[in-house]
Structure 1
Amino acid sequence: MATACSVDHPKMADEVLPSAPPLETTDAKKRRAPKAPELPIIERRNWLIHQHYIRKDYDTCKVIIKEQLQETNGMCEYAIYVQALILRLEGKIQQSLELFQSCAILNPTCADNLKQVARSLFLLGKHKAAIEFYHEAAKLNEKDWEISHNLGVCYFFIKDFKKAEEHLNIGLQTNKHDKTFVMLGKVHLLTGDTDKAIEVYKKAVEFSPENTELLTTLGLLFLQLGKYQKAFEHLGNALTFDPNNYKAILAAGSMMQTHGDFDVAMNKYRVAACAVPESPPLWNNIGMCFFGKKKYVAAISCLKRAHYLSPFDWKVLYNLGLVHLTMQQYASAFHFLSAAINLNPRMGELYMLLAVALTNLEDAENATRAYEQAVTLDESNPLVNLNFAIFLYNHGDKKGALDQYQEMERKVNLLRDSSSNFEFDPELMDMAQKMAAALQVTESVVWTKPGKESKSKPSSAATRAPGAALGTNQALGQAMSSAASYNKNIQLPTVTARLPHCTTLHIM
């Protein structure tokens, strides 16, 4: 039986097949992509700095900035810039200024660096130096609204109102912003041009009709001019967009209070009290509402709270003196009126009320001095001269009384000629007629009795000036009443001015 032998095929034994290329090398070639260009090391972490800064993660941001500056030997402009911004937010203005100056050295053609240097100088109160840097920045970027606006603000603070107006107008031509409108309106108000200020705020309201600050300010300006309908309209619009806007609430309430609607005004003030319970103007107005309702103890309580919150507000002291004078507490009235005079020594009515208090305290000598000062300072209120005439007549000086009576006639005629909207209190008219009879004046003032439409209310103005000035806690209305003198030796009672100052917040 033959056995099978396993013999290799010679061709198979000698043949060597070629090896396939390794798979790993092919895959590596396929996966290989163009290498991304590396950013310069100076700018390597800028994106990360920016991310942490806009997220307000300032601690982490400062750590990254420190590492970046160490790597670049302090040559990374963006890192220095952001660090300066953080320092400014922390209130370290001088240090931020130095860093912004470093940025300006590293990149002198960048307008933003110069703007930030100017901003830091402005915050340090160096307005003239800030103006120089803003002008340098303007050379690099002429169409920058921010530069024009800030130049106007800087000129505003150095009281160069003409240039301030010029640059603010340039800013509005470049780009309209609420802030620029507001600042331009302030410039016109400080220069005494109320009409231009109103026009500016009207344009601002057209541009931004839902801005409650602009609406409230415009309402207050119309209130200043006695245009109550327009004032109420704009204040109402402000309250429509923001029912809790305490400035508009306080202004609307004071306007109602001026017209004698004390209960409606008090309802407004209750809403405002929730927002600003520690507002001196609010408590002053509440006090004068109680005064108008003849609740004198409550009035004094509210006025003393306003005085506690704002001890240097002369109007609160004025009102306290007035209430005490009405209550025949003449020593207390003298105390508060003297304090008001120390804070505002240029107001004639204050000296007149002080003279009334001194008269009732039987200090005729000092009362005479107070009246003389009052007639020297006051140029429009005939009540000052009438009271002085009564005082002189009661003390036997008929010649001096006649001179003061004639001066009163002159002021009354000026008031009538200037406007037909003035209303004279009936008590003031009766007292003037009695004074004329006592002095035997043949050609006395022809007093026109007010008609039904213009008849004075108990709290309306005796000489109501529709253009009464507005400002910080400025009066929005005036009222007159009598605080008769009870000295038996005095033949004619003194007509005392009642000027319950309804105050609002500063429109500036």
Structure 2
Amino acid sequence: MYSENASFDYSYWIWGKKMAKMTNALKDLDRLAGESYSKARIFFQTGKYDEALIAYGKAEEAWKKIAELLFEKGKEKRGKEFLEKSQEARSCTGMALFKLGKYTEALKIVDAVLEFKPDSSTEWSNRGFVLSALDRNEDALEAYEKALSLDPESPKILTSKGIVYFRMGIPEKALETFDKALAAEPKQASDWACKLPRFSFFSRNKAPVMKPDNAETWYWKGNIFLELGEKEKALEAYKTALESDPEHLDSLLFGGDLLCEFSEYKEAFKCYVRALNLSPGNEAAKQGKEFCETKINEQ
């Protein structure tokens, strides 16, 4: 015999089935997004920026879809969480475009993400990267100033700001900013280097080291000294960069060139060999290595 309770139970069962189906669909979308995002990071780290661009796009769309479905069901808090994930993937898409040299497209994405996250020091810093690449140095400085107002002692942001000063031909301001970066205390795990020294100019210590990963800052500081004609200071800066990161390619090349100028051909030879191991076919390293071999044989 049909009853109202039976009708209610059946409706509740149908509702439960729909909710379970939706939950499974969201889980599938989240899994797809997570897998795509992980692949994208690997592609990005290995320099496969076109592939990273596609994978980040898939992650963004999947997380955005989840957010929309949750908003439709009135689950605002959870929806915002996935919308933030979507924006994170979108931000990474912008940086992949940046790496591909598509600066105008990258800037549009960075600005769109900033509308969603106006208080993100990372996004303001990303804006500085792109504007600098577009030779809009004054605008880049403004972006870095905004980033530093949100994260005043970020070594990476300070270094980026110093590079802009260098490119603008203001070495004094660049040096001052690099010194601030070197004095700043790293706060994130990615700002620290903890590894075995595989090469350096003068270190043979095989014990693990943990120190600020400031190779890029020292490298650019070396470039300023080189620009000012202070070659010994420049060499010391490149050496210090390699103490922080033994695989910093530009410091190996610039350091090798300066060592040749100081007739330290054996040490320069080591730099070029290491550079070739990191970048096979690098013409500058190849020529430097051959030059050192000639000079060493003459001695």
CA RMSD of aligned residues (A): 3.5
Identify if the C-alpha distance between structure 1 residues 212 and 87 changes in structure 2 by more than 3 Å, giving closer, same or farther: closer
Contact 1:152 1:165 in 2 (8 A): yes
Alignment of 1:484-499 (within 5 A): none
Contact 1:111 1:138 in 2 (8 A): yes
Out of 141-150 and 248-257, give the one that drifted further.
248-257
User: Displacement, 1:84?
Assistant: 2.3
Equivalent residue number for residue 146 of structure 2: 136
Contact 1:216 1:247 in 2 (8 A): no
Equivalent residue number for residue 305 of structure 1: none
Equivalent residue number for residue 59 of structure 1: 54
- Would you say 1:93 and 2:103 are equivalent positions? yes
Equivalences, count: 215
Contact 1:210 1:238 in 2 (8 A): no
- Would you say 1:235 and 2:272 are equivalent positions? no
CA distance, structure 2, for counterparts of residue 49 and residue 122 of structure 1: 30
User: Displacement, 1:80?
Assistant: 3.0
Contact 2:37 2:89 in 1 (8 A): no
CA distance, structure 2, for counterparts of residue 201 and residue 89 of structure 1: 25
User: Displacement, 1:87?
Assistant: 3.3
**TM-score, length basis structure 2:** 0.59
Unaligned runs of 5+ in 1: 1-34, 265-508
CA distance, structure 2, for counterparts of residue 205 and residue 67 of structure 1: 41
Secondary structure of 2:118 counterpart: coil
Secondary structure of 2:106 counterpart: helix
Q: Which has the larger radius of gyration?
A: 1
Give the ranges of 4+ consecutive aligned residues of structure 1 lying more than 6 Å apart after TM superposition.
none
Alignment of 1:325-404 (within 5 A): none
Secondary structure of 2:153 counterpart: coil
Post-superposition Cα deviations, 1:130-180, rounded to whole Å, max 9, x if no partner, equal: 111011101111232210111111111111111111112222233342222
User: Displacement, 1:204?
Assistant: 3.2
Match of 1:198 among 206, 215, 235: 235
Equivalent residue number for residue 120 of structure 1: 130
CA distance, structure 2, for counterparts of residue 116 and residue 204 of structure 1: 23
Secondary structure of 2:152 counterpart: coil
Match of 2:224 among 181, 187, 192: 187
Would you tell me which structure has more helix in proportion to its own residues?
A: 2
Out of 172-181 and 148-157, give the one that drifted further.
172-181
The answer to which structure, 1 or 2, has the higher relative contact order (CA under 8 A, 6+ apart) is 1
CA distance, structure 2, for counterparts of residue 195 and residue 222 of structure 1: 10
Contact 1:238 1:248 in 2 (8 A): no
CA distance, structure 2, for counterparts of residue 48 and residue 203 of structure 1: 38
Equivalent residue number for residue 80 of structure 1: 90
Contact 2:103 2:134 in 1 (8 A): yes
Secondary structure of 1:137 counterpart: helix
CA distance, structure 2, for counterparts of residue 247 and residue 170 of structure 1: 36
Unaligned runs of 5+ in 2: 1-19, 44-50, 72-79, 185-211, 278-284
Match of 2:168 among 133, 138, 158: 158
User: Displacement, 1:209?
Assistant: 5.5
Match of 1:167 among 155, 166, 177: 177
Identify if the C-alpha distance between structure 1 residues 61 and 133 changes in structure 2 by more than 3 Å, giving closer, same or farther: closer
User: Displacement, 1:253?
Assistant: 4.5
Identify if the C-alpha distance between structure 1 residues 213 and 235 changes in structure 2 by more than 3 Å, giving closer, same or farther: farther
- Would you say 1:252 and 2:252 are equivalent positions? no
User: Displacement, 1:91?
Assistant: 3.5
**TM-score, length basis structure 1:** 0.37
Structure 1 vs Structure 2: percent identity of aligned residues? Answer: 18
